Amino acid sequence: MRAGRPVATFLLALGLVGALSACEAVQDASNAANQAGQAIDKVKLCADAVALAGFTPSTTDPQKALDETKAKAEELNKLAEKAGDATLKDAITGVSDTMSNVTLSDLDPAKIADWSQKKLDQAAKLTAACG
């Protein structure tokens, strides 16, 4: 009977090692799933932010264009709050700031090209942060 004890102890230890290995595999799988989920969230966030950044106000009704641009800036701010990556958050905030600081004067047909270029520069930074 004494010979059976070391065998039982060995089998018990082997079972514990196997269980620990299984726990580690489950943890690795969980980490991989979390990383994949975060990547999907970033892709969605980027798609939404780039779409908002692409908004071009119409100069036919400057007040409406001003209101719409500021509304898009607010939506961008909400997206920036969700960004876990600091570079992405800064890029979204840059576009949002440009859009929220727009004035009726900026939307004047003679000046809109300058404002649009500033917004395009910020949108390029956003696209780079998403890439």
Q: How far apart are alpha carbons 75 and 69 in whole angstroms?
A: 10
Q: Give pLDDT tens digits for 56-113.
A: 998 889 899 999 999 999 999 999 999 988 999 999 999 999 999 999 999 888 888 9
| Residue of 74, 83, 73 lying closest to 106 (CA atoms) | 73
Find the mean pLDDT for residues 1-5. 58
Contact 64, 96 (CB under 8 A): no
Q: Is the pLDDT of residue 55 over 70?
A: yes
The reported pLDDT for the residue numbered 63 is: 92
Portion of the chain with pLDDT greater than 70, in percent: 69
Question: DSSP states of 9-45 as a string?
Answer: HHHHHHHHHHHHHHHHHHHHHHHHHHHHHHHHHHHHH
Average pLDDT, the chain: 82
